[in-house]
């Protein structure tokens, strides 16, 4: 027991140190994706709460009573409309961003009556990408200033333009950053939340989960932010990084300026192994299965080939059960899922005789295609190679060649469609910034599945 415990401690100590090398997935964000996320946040945030309370009064610099710079009181941000965003990635730092907004500020004029000012203002910010709680990527605002572009004031008659200009110069320049920079904080908070996978449970199959986490500070270049994501399936023993022999450190070599999600062969292997353990590749085929699928009852037609079968019985069950770890291998343009298990034919009416009619060993190679739909990795398999061998049979004269065609038909027409249906939603991918990879271009590379979306044209 102790030995196991220290073994585990040692293992995890090793895992910790190798985490940087073996990422399960990589998310590469280009500036368009980030810009879209900022824009979505701006459009979805309810600023009315922030607007409800007036900003702290601008500091007075010894103005005398009646100074036109103090010409307005109880100033409030009445409306904020976003016009456009320009966002630039600053390598090794974060972003420089300018958000152009149309705002409306209202207040009381000292000459009596309401005063209303409509402005177009640039909010200019510099952010730094840091690591926050749970190592999640976190943008922190390092600098924020405002730039007044246009102004149109509805002022009480009798106020001279010169007075207004003086007022705008002196007061608004102090007031605008106080009013608008908190908006940036709100937006960044919302973007940061979408960059964090830590609190989400990502389902795997029907009983498992994948924990996606981030351990290192993402890299920022001129063209992208690259986030290395670690994954762990529900049980500790199944940690992706527990395989010391795992593939080389994962990198994306593509030069394309797209937003990309890379899924490593290691992650696929761990996920498929878990799905196999859960029984996803175990399928029982009965006459009823076949009639539900609209197929002719072909199990009973076996009687013709095998006179030793109880010919009147229609109650056979073909049990397909995969028992070794499902393995996925990714080569250039090629993904292969390898299964090994047993295929057994039972007469389900025979209660006294618990012998299967035959037991085959099956090595099944499936070609895999992949797509992403609603945050799930959708895998689609087709039979590639199947090798069957007889392990035992109720009748010595029963040879593989006799049942070969029948078993292959069952694999192709029943097993594969059933498995594909299960695989459609079995594996959840990390969801960050609500990127829609549904129409992504998919490439199978050496040990890496790469999805790319052009978020700049969207």
Ligand X SMILES: *[C@@H]1O[C@H](CO)[C@@H](O)[C@H](O)[C@H]1NC(C)=O
Report the DSSP pairing between strands 219-220 and 224-233: antiparallel
C-beta of 138 vs 376, nearer to ligand X: 376
Q: In the complex, what is the shortest distance from the CB of residue 279 to ligand X, in angstroms, rounded to a whole number? A: 27
Tokens representing 430? 């990390």
Closer residue to ligand X (CB): 96 or 215: 96
Q: Which of 11, 45, 78, 90 binds ligand X (CB under 6 A)?
A: 90
Q: Which string of b and e fits 384-413 if b means at least 16 CB within 10 Å?
A: eebebeeeebbeeebebeebeebbeebbee
CA pair distance 412, 109, nearest whole angstrom: 81
* Total residues binding ligand X (CB under 6 A): 9
Question: Which residues neighbour 341 within 8 Å (Cβ) at sequence distance 6 or greater?
Answer: 281, 282, 320, 321, 322, 323, 324, 361, 362, 364
- Which is nearer to ligand X, 96 or 186 (by Cβ)? 96
* Closest listed residue to residue 210, CA positions, set 262, 275, 265: 275
Instruction: Mark the segment that binds ligand X (CB under 6 A) among 172-180, 217-225, 335-343, 434-442.
Output: 434-442
As given in the structure block, the two tokens for residue 254 are: 């593509």
Site for ligand X contains 221 (CB under 6 A): no
For ligand X, the closer CB: 291 or 436: 436
Beta strands 283-286 and 259-264: pairing type?
A: unpaired
Nearer Cβ to ligand X (44/389): 44
Q: Whose Cβ is closer to ligand X: residue 418's or residue 453's? A: 453
Distance CA 53, CA 77 (A): 9
CB-CB contact of 358 with 383 (8 Å):
no
Closest approach of Cβ 75 to ligand X, in Å? 26
* Maximum separation of any 2 CA atoms in the chain, in Å: 112
Applying CB under 6 A, among 114, 439, 441, 458 the residue interacting with ligand X is: 439
| Shortest distance in whole angstroms from residue 438 CB to ligand X | 4
Rounded CA-CA distance 194/433 in Å is: 5
Q: Which is nearer to ligand X, 267 or 410 (CB)?
A: 267
Considering only CA atoms, which of 3, 102, 87 is closest in space to residue 39? 87
Residue 86 makes contact with ligand X by CB under 6 A: no
Report the residue from 111, 126, 168, 317 that binds ligand X according to the rule CB under 6 A.
Answer: 126
- Whole-number minimum distance, CB 345 to ligand X, in Å? 36
Burial of 366 (0-12, 13-18, 19+ CB in 10 A): buried
In whole angstroms, how close is the CB of 30 to ligand X at the nearest point? 16
Residue 77 or residue 87: which is nearer to ligand X going by CB?
87
Positions 191 through 210 that interact with ligand X (CB under 6 A) = none
Q: Which of residues 227-256 bind ligand X (CB under 6 A)?
A: 245
> Is 10 a binder of ligand X (CB under 6 A)?
no
Query: Which residues face 327 on adjacent strands?
Result: 338
Dig out the tokens for 413 from the structure: 């027409």
* Least distance (Å) between residue 220 CB and ligand X: 11
Cα angle 38, 453, 100; round to 5: 25
**Residue 140, interface with ligand X (CB under 6 A)?**
no
Alpha carbon distance 437, 453 (integer Å): 6
**Site stretch for ligand X (CB under 6 A), options 280-288, 313-321, 353-361, 431-439:** 431-439
Closer to ligand X at the Cβ: 220 or 290? Answer: 220
CB of 18 to ligand X, least distance (A): 14
Buried b (16+ CB within 10 A) or exposed e, 12-22: eeebeeebeeb
Enumerate the H helices of 87-218 as residue ranges: 161-167, 173-194
- Smallest gap from residue 67 Cβ to ligand X (A): 32
**The only residue of 13, 20, 83, 143 in contact with ligand X, by rule CB under 6 A:** 143
- Select from 33-41, 415-423, 433-441, 443-451 the region that touches ligand X (CB under 6 A): 433-441
Select from 50-58, 159-167, 435-443, 444-452 the region that touches ligand X (CB under 6 A): 435-443
Find the part of the chain contacting ligand X (CB under 6 A) among 129-137, 308-316, 396-404, 436-444.
436-444
Task: Determine how β-strand 114-131 pairs with β-strand 137-154.
Answer: antiparallel
The least CB distance from residue 247 to ligand X, in Å, is 8
Q: Of 268, 254, 273, which Cα lies nearest the Cα of 450?
A: 254
Q: Which is nearer to ligand X, 91 or 417 (CB)?
A: 91
Whether residue 47 contacts residue 190, with contact meaning beta carbons closer than 8 Å, is answered with no
Quote the least distance from Cβ 367 to ligand X, whole Å.
22
Interacting residue ranges for ligand X, rule: CB under 6 A: 88, 90, 96, 126, 143, 245, 436, 438-439
């Amino acid at each position: 027991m102790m030995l196991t415990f220290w073994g585990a401690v040692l293992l995890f100590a090793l895992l910790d140190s190798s985490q940087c090398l073996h990422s399960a997935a990589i998310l590469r964000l280009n500036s368009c994706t980030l810009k879209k996320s900022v824009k979505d946040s701006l459009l979805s945030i309810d600023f009315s709460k922030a607007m409800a309370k007036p900003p702290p009064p601008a500091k007075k610099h010894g103005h005398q009573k009646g100074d036109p710079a103090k010409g307005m009181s109880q100033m409030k941000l009445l409306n904020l409309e976003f016009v456009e965003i320009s966002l630039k990635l600053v390598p090794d730092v974060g972003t420089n961003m300018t958000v152009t907004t149309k705002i409306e500020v209202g207040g009381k004029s000292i000459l009596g009556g309401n005063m209303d000012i409509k402005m177009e203002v640039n909010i200019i910010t510099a952010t730094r990408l840091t690591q926050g709680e749970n190592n999640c990527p976190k943008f922190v605002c390092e600098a924020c200033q405002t730039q007044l572009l246009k102004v149109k004031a509805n002022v009480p008659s009798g106020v001279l333009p010169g007075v207004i200009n003086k007022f705008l110069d002196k007061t608004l320049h102090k007031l605008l950053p106080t009013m608008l920079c908190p908006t940036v904080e709100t937006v960044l908070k919302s973007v940061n939340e979408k960059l964090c996978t830590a609190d989400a449970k990502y389902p795997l199959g029907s009983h498992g989960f994948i924990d996606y986490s981030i351990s290192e500070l993402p890299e920022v270049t001129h063209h992208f932010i690259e986030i290395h994501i670690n994954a762990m399936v529900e049980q500790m023993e199944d940690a992706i990084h527990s395989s010391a022999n795992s593939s080389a450190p994962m990198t994306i070599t593509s030069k394309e300026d797209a937003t990309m999600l890379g899924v490593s062969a290691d992650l696929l292997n761990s996920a498929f192994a878990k799905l196999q353990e859960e029984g996803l590749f175990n399928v029982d085929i009965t006459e009823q299965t076949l009639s539900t699928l609209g197929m002719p009852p072909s199990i009973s037609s076996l009687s013709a080939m095998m006179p030793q079968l109880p010919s009147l019985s229609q109650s056979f069950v073909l049990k397909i059960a995969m028992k070794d770890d499902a393995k996925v291998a990714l080569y250039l343009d090629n993904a292969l899922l390898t299964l090994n298990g047993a295929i057994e034919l039972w007469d389900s009416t025979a209660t006294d005789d618990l012998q299967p009619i035959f037991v085959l060993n099956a090595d099944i190679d499936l070609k895999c295609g992949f797509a992403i739909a609603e945050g799930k990795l959708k895998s689609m398999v087709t039979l590639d190679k199947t090798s069957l061998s007889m392990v035992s049979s109720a009748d010595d004269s029963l040879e593989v060649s006799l049942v070969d065609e029948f078993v292959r038909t069952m694999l192709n027409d029943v097993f594969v469609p059933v498995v594909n249906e299960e695989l459609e939603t079995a594996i959840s991918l990390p969801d960050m910034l609500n990127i829609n990879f549904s129409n992504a271009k998919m490439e199978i590379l050496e040990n890496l599945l790469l999805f790319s979306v052009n978020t700049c044209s969207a």
